[in-house]
Every structure is written in C-alpha cells, then in structure tokens.
Structure 1
Amino acid sequence: MTAAPRIDVSTSLRESGAEPTSEELAKVAATLPSDVLFTVPLGSAGGREPDATWSLPGGRATGTAAVYYANGRTHLQKPFLFADGFSYGPSNLPALFDYFNSPYEDGRPGFFDQLLARGVDIVLIGFAERHTHIQHNAEVAIQAISRAIAERNGSEPLTVGGVSMGGIVTRYALAKMENDGSDHETATYLSYDSPHNGAWIPLILQQLAYFFEKLAPAEPSQAALIRSPAAQQLLWAWVPDAKYSGEVATASDLRKDFVRELADLGNFPRRPRLLGVSNGRGDGVGRPLPAGETAFDWQALVASATARFQPDHGTDQRIGGMHAGLELRRSTTTDVPALDGVPGGTLDSFGKVADALKAKISEEHHSGAFVPAVSAAALKYDPIAWDIDPNLSILDESLDRFHLDDVAFDTDNTPHSAVSGVLVDWIIDRLS
C-alpha cells in the first residue's frame, strides 16, 4: 500500500548571521508580491453592458446576473446560463462577457456573439464573493435558474454551466434542485475547464504565499485566497500554512465535506445532457517542466526562497525552502505526483511569483497545469485518492469512463479558461 501524499517541513537555525532589524525587514517586505496571483483575470474593467440586470439574493451568499438578449429580442426565450469562475471578491460580468466574446480568429465573431446570432440569450451569473463556499454560491445559481424559468417566454429548455469553479457551482446547483424535487428545466449542462476532480496549485507556492504574507501583510493577499473556502474545496492538495507537515490530499475538511455532499446528491445532475471542455490536451502530452528541478531562486537582504517543480512521487522529495533571519525551512513531499507538467489548462503560477520577486526563470517554465485534463474531463476516478495517471491519454477512452456524456480537448495545453476556436466550435455545434 502506498503512503498517503504528504508534505514535511523541517526547521533549523542558520549557522551564522543575526536577527534582521525592523528596517531590513521593511526593505524586504517592500519587494514582496501582494497581489492575488493564482487566478486568471477573466476580463478587465469595463465591458459590454447587459440588457438587463438581476439581483440574486441567494441565501448564504448573494450575486447578480447580467442578461444579454439574442439579436432583435427584448425578452428571454432561449436561455444559456453561464457562471463566473474562481477568484477573490465580486464578479465583473461585463468584463466576463468581453473575455468570452473576444475574437479568437480573424474575421469571425466572438463566442457570445455567435450564440446571440443563433437566437441564444446569455445570462451570466456572478457572485458577490467568488471565494466563498461553493454550496453558498450554488444558492445564487439556483436563484438565477428559477428567475430564468419565470421570465422566459415559451418553454425552451435551459442550458446551464460555467467556467472553472462556475461549472462546479452549477453542477452542484442542478444536482441539488433535482434532489429537492425542483424542476430546473435544463436540457444541457456545460463545464468550461472546470476542476471536477480537483485543481492544483504547487505546494511550495502555497507555502511561499503564507511566508510572504507573514513578512508583508496585505488584504486581499495571495494567502487569503488559498485559505478561502472555495480554494479549500477546489484544490486536490492543500496546506493551511507555511510550516504545516502532514497529509495534503484533500487535507481540508471543507473539501472532504463538499466531495461527500456531491456524492450524496448523485455526483452530477441526472437529467441534463452533460458536456465539458478542457483547455488541456487529451493525448497525454503535458508541459516541459522537469520534475524536481529548481524553478527559481530568490535572494534578498535577510530572506530567501527556492521553488522546485513538484517531483514525481518518491519519499522525502525536495520541493524548496525559505528563510527569514536565522530561521531556515526546507520542504519535502512524499507520494505526490508531478502535477506541474501534466496535460491540462495552465496557470502561470511559477512565472507570476518569480516575476513579482524579480527572480530569474525560464520563459518555458512560467506555466504549469492548474486543471489537469483528467479532472476537467471528469474521468471516473476517486477525487480524494486520485488513483489515476494524470498523464493518461484519454482521447480514445470510451465515454463510459467519463461522468460527462461528451468531452472536448484543446489542441495544446492552453491557459486555463482560454477561448479557443477548437473549443468554441465544438460547443456551438453541440448547442445547435
């Protein structure tokens, strides 16, 4: 029997030196990243204003919906509900619209403009706190579904889904409505690079976020994002602080409870056709990140940090370390797979941290897997034990190996949530 995936942190004192002065610490703190780095900014300020806006009181959370009527309409007739993804703070729905409607090919309209031209009304679901519990934001999604049914002219069934965490929020919402005996009138569910079996942020980068927060407190901080309920529920491997030693696979009780709740609800909604797309390749070809090798070194006046790409399993494998003053910490993992380089939707986590620190890093090493393709495709495996080869070629797998009824993969491992012609054309074809 293999050991449970875990992390261990050893602490020692440096052989020479002195405790840093407050002035020295202040100089180091001024160089540290304080932004929220481990997310994809889905759009910037501004964006196309909606034709209507709904307030969604939810219950334990609140949100809004931005409604865009199909060309020539002034009412809802063929609703496509699409929920925002994971980040810190409130959704910006006009910017989200622009992100998914940005041209991905010369001479062709954007994804959302194509839907509108085909008579599909778009209802974007946003959340006041994207980082709160998924179950709470699912109540907001249920409000949006009920409102769409109430305002729709005719009886055209709904399409409901979301990007990233939004796909998990709506998956839970639809399953709960079925469990509660509420008719969601949804014919199709669509997830866009959603981490059905969990997402991945390198453990050493999670530790560094806590380490930097201690040296330079900020709000919101990267550490606050990792501590958030949504992050704990989405991340397959998670650590609560920079000094934590122990098991990492589904280490948070919030994730254990969420996975159990989903199972109790049937795991997925049973009535709709289940569609999903992955920003990762399906042929088992990942990113060229050398497992166990150094990604970057950072040296400051009285502090330093080293980050390595996640080694592939093994016992007491080094993933990096950090020091401030006299204290030196080194981190190792046991039986954790080398998820940085597996096929999947990518996030430039190593690059963002290294660039913020002004540490040298190779351009090809900036990005690693954030949502492994086996997770976005909802391949059937244990979401806690992860008893799966994440480098598995799944292009030719029988559909009964997936929870979804149909799945599409990108032609390369593109950034998480990226809009590509391959995925848009597949979605348009299935929704038509």
Structure 2
Amino acid sequence: MSVTPRIKVSTSLRDGGAEPTSEEHAELAASLSGEVFFTVPLGTAGGREPDATWPLPGSRANGTAAVYYAEGRTHLQKPFLFADGFNYGPSDLPALFDHFNTPYQEGRPGFLDQLRARGFDIVLIGFDERHTHIQHNAEVAIHAIRRAIAERRGSEPLTVGGVSMGGIITRYALAKLENDDFDHETDTYLSWDSPHNGAWIPLILQQLAYFFEKLAPAEPSQAALIRSPAAQQLLWAWVPDAKYSGEVATASELRKDFVRELADLGDFPRRPRLLGVANGRGDGTGRPLPAGEIAFDWQALVASATARFQPDKGTDQKIGGMHAGLQLRRSTTTEVPALDGVPGGTMDSFGKVADALKAKISGEYRSGAFVPSVSAAAVTYDPITWDIDPNLNLLDQAPDRFHLNDIAFDTDNTPHSAVSGNLADWILIHLT
C-alpha cells in the first residue's frame, strides 16, 4: 500500500529561551527584505528598450508586450512570442530581453539578436502580477497572440512559448484557443525549463519563509511568493504555513484544479510542433547534495534555524527545525523523494536564505534542483503522484515517453533559465 508524501511538525518549549527584542526583530527583518529567495532574477533593470509596446488588458489580469522587430524591419512579419516566468510582482521586459540576449560565446551576438537576424520579430509577453493564477495570465498571452495575428503582415506562422512558468502559461493559452476553435496560427511551441509536471522548493525552506514572516515581517514577504496562486499551481509539494502537518504532494486545491483543467484541454496544444529545452542534464546525473545532511545551521541568541537537504523517502525523516524565544519546532517528512540533488535547472535558495541569516554554507550546497529534468522534459507521468524516478536517464527513453516532440538538455545542471550555447544553438537550428 503506497503512502502519500507528507510532513509532520512537532512543537515544544525550549529551556532558557527569551523573546526577541524589538531591535532584534528589526535587524532580522532588514536581513530578510530585498531579494526574493525563491526565484531566479532574469536580467537587471535598464535593459534594451523595445521598438513598440502593446498594452494587454484582460478581464482578470493585465500585461504588456515588448516588440523588437527583426533586423531592417519596422513592422511585424514573423512573430516569436515568448512569455516571462515565475516571480513576484510585474515583469521587466527590457531586463528579460537582456537576459536572453547576453552573448554566450565570444564573437557572436546574443540569442535574441540571432533570431532577429534570421527574420524573427521578438514579442516578449509580460505580466503585471507574475505571481497570480496561471489561467489569468493565460488571458494576457491570448491577447498577445490575437494582436500578433492582427498586426502581422503576410502569413508567416507564429512561434509561441516562454521561460519557466511562461511556458506553462502559453501551453495553457494555446490549448484553450484550440478548445475554443480559434486558429492561433502557431506552428511551433517552445518551453524553456518550464515545470510541465511541477517545480520543487524545499519544504524546510518554505516553512522557514512562513516562520520568519511571523517573527520579523519584511517587504517583500518571502512567504508571499510561496503563498501566491502561481506557486501553489506550480509546486508539486507545498505547505500553507510553518505549522502545517499533512499531505504535501499537490496539497493545494489550486494545483489540483489547474492540472485537471489542463487535462480537460488535452494537456498540450495539438496543432503546433512541441519543442522544449531543459537547464538540467538528461543523463540522470544530478548534483552531489547528500540527502538528509545539514545544508546550514544558524544559531542566534533568540532564534535558530537548521535546514537539511530533503531525505530520500523513508518515514519521519528529519528535514530541519527552527526556534524563536521559547517555541521550538522540528519537521520530518515521509515518502518525499530527495529532489534537491536530482538533475534539473537549479536555484540557489539554500544559499540566499543562509546569506540573509549570515549562516555559513558550503559553496557546493548553495543550489539545488528547482525544475527537475523529468518535469522540464514533460515526461509522461502523473503530475499528481509523481510516480517516476527523478534520476531517470532521459537520453535512453523512447520518443513516446515525452509529451514534447523534441527536447534538448544542457551539458550540466545549470541555473534555471540560464542561456547556454548548447540550448540556444539547438533552438536556432530547430527554428531556422
């Protein structure tokens, strides 16, 4: 009989504890504010300004498109629509352009400029609230697709996709348009390290985000992103607060409903060729993170936190704990796989949290998997139960094991959404 992955939190009183002072609260809040721990920032403010912008109003969400015409062109002819991904707050499209256009090889233009040189007009799709429901932002993407068709001169088909959650948003948008019998005129769909079967943020770090929100509120709240509709829909394992004990696999009703909605739409659009790239390796080789070992251990006079890498299944396996004042909490998990070290696009959340707390952490322990390769590659398995070995060698699998028609993996487990020559050149070959 299979056991559903779950978490258990025990609470006790700590001897000799003292409540933090207002000064200690303020110091901790200052260290926790600023950079969001659970995202990969794409570019920095001040990127290349677009040739045109389109407002993209929707009934439940709003957005903007930034248009960069192909070389020597002042109108839309061969649209390449690419949606922004998971983060907190509004998109910064000039920064997104710069991220994907930073040269990855000396003497060669960036990826987007190479597409522009091949005649593609780049249309970046941004969202006013990247952390809201995927279905709401899919309405923004649908608006962009309709406008691209209306503004395009000629009959060149569209290429539509996105990075991270942007690939899920456009996947849903295209499938929804097909279900509504609207011709989206798209012949290629492209996802870049998109969590087709779910993403992973370590459960102990989710708990710490909630814990510190109560202990020392800061802006932006690190817990606000974990609590957001987008995170609930993307994360395979999720907890609603720091005290929660219970099932974690697809624990949010928002995720269950979204997975069902996608299935009702056919899971993927049927008309386009389905392409994808993964920042993780495809040969089953992950990162050397010892399951169950301590990633960092922070000790202060009035508070402490210990974070372990996720153990590999088992019963009541320790993942860490935290205390503030007199209260002490310890967390264990049952039947949760060791996803931190599996092949996949990485995120340095362990490192960011440790840095904020001024805790020591080894360089090799800073990053773990965020989008496992089995998810980015859209392997055909149940996204609810995750009945798959996340260390599976995907290079040995038959084509019918994947929802995508073709997939490229990076040569190493690189940061989520990173642009490498291996991935960019593969896309350029397959699109041109």
Structure 1 length normalisation: TM-score?
Answer: 0.98
Match for residue 224 of structure 2? 224
Write the deviation string for residues 196-218 of structure 1: whole angstroms up to 9, x where unpaired: 00000000000000111111112
- Counterpart residue identity of residue 171, structure 1: R
* Contact preservation (8 Å) 2:348, 2:368: yes
* Contact preservation (8 Å) 2:311, 2:317: yes
**Secondary structure, in 3 states, of the residue corresponding to 1:340?**
coil
Match for residue 431 of structure 1? 431
**Secondary structure, in 3 states, of the residue corresponding to 2:70?**
coil
Write the deviation string for residues 112-140 of structure 1: whole angstroms up to 9, x where unpaired: 01000000110000000000000000000
**Secondary structure, in 3 states, of the residue corresponding to 2:331?**
strand
**Structure 1 residue ranges without an equivalent (≥5):** none
* Contact preservation (8 Å) 1:34, 1:221: no
Match for residue 89 of structure 2? 89
Write the deviation string for residues 322-357 of structure 1: whole angstroms up to 9, x where unpaired: 000111000000000000000000000101111111
Match for residue 77 of structure 2? 77
**Structure 2 residue ranges without an equivalent (≥5):** none
Q: Does 1:324 align with 2:324?
A: yes
Query: Could you tell me how far apart the structure 1 residues matched to 2:26 and 2:109 are?
Result: 50
Q: Does 1:356 align with 2:368?
A: no
* Contact preservation (8 Å) 1:35, 1:221: no
**Secondary structure, in 3 states, of the residue corresponding to 1:425?**
helix
- Paired positions, count: 432
Match for residue 173 of structure 1? 173
Shift of 1:28: 4.3
Query: Could you tell me how far apart the structure 1 residues matched to 2:406 and 2:21 are?
Result: 59
- Alignment CA distance shift 1:179-1:94 (3 Å): same
Shift of 1:299: 1.1
Query: Could you tell me how far apart the structure 1 residues matched to 2:347 and 2:21 are?
Result: 36
* Contact preservation (8 Å) 1:34, 1:222: no
- Alignment CA distance shift 1:45-1:395 (3 Å): same
Query: Could you tell me how far apart the structure 2 residues matched to 1:215 and 1:252 are?
Result: 24
Query: Could you tell me how far apart the structure 2 residues matched to 1:337 and 1:209 are?
Result: 21
Query: Could you tell me how far apart the structure 2 residues matched to 1:413 and 1:19 are?
Result: 42
* Contact preservation (8 Å) 2:17, 2:302: no
Match for residue 406 of structure 1? 406
- Counterpart residue identity of residue 266, structure 2: G
Query: Could you tell me how far apart the structure 1 residues matched to 2:392 and 2:51 are?
Result: 44
Write the deviation string for residues 42-69 of structure 1: whole angstroms up to 9, x where unpaired: 1111111111100001221000000011
Match for residue 258 of structure 1? 258
- Counterpart residue identity of residue 17, structure 1: G
Query: Could you tell me how far apart the structure 2 residues matched to 1:121 and 1:20 are?
Result: 55
* Contact preservation (8 Å) 1:60, 1:136: yes
Shift of 1:34: 5.3
**Secondary structure, in 3 states, of the residue corresponding to 2:395?**
coil
When the two chains are superposed, the root-mean-square deviation of aligned CA atoms in Å is 1.0
Match for residue 397 of structure 1? 397
Query: Could you tell me how far apart the structure 1 residues matched to 2:247 and 2:46 are?
Result: 43
Matches within 5 A, 1:121-140: 121-140=121-140
Query: Could you tell me how far apart the structure 2 residues matched to 1:126 and 1:149 are?
Result: 18
Match for residue 36 of structure 1? 36
Write the deviation string for residues 165-196 of structure 1: whole angstroms up to 9, x where unpaired: 00000000000000011110000000000000
- Counterpart residue identity of residue 87, structure 2: S
Match for residue 313 of structure 2? 313
- Counterpart residue identity of residue 43, structure 1: G
Query: Could you tell me how far apart the structure 2 residues matched to 1:70 and 1:26 are?
Result: 50
Write the deviation string for residues 72-125 of structure 1: whole angstroms up to 9, x where unpaired: 111111100000001000001011001000010111110001000000110000
Match for residue 120 of structure 2? 120
Match for residue 420 of structure 1? 420
Write the deviation string for residues 376-402 of structure 1: whole angstroms up to 9, x where unpaired: 000000000000000000012111000
Write the deviation string for residues 13-54 of structure 1: whole angstroms up to 9, x where unpaired: 113334444454445444445531111111111111111100
Structure 2 length normalisation: TM-score?
Answer: 0.98
Matches within 5 A, 1:107-256: 107-256=107-256
> Which 10-residue stretch deviates more, 24-33 or 5-14?
24-33
Shift of 1:219: 3.1
- Counterpart residue identity of residue 431, structure 2: L
Matches within 5 A, 1:101-112: 101-112=101-112
Query: Could you tell me how far apart the structure 2 residues matched to 1:24 and 1:142 are?
Result: 48
> Which 10-residue stretch deviates more, 119-128 or 18-27?
18-27
Q: Percent identity?
A: 84
**Secondary structure, in 3 states, of the residue corresponding to 1:307?**
strand
* Contact preservation (8 Å) 1:28, 1:300: no
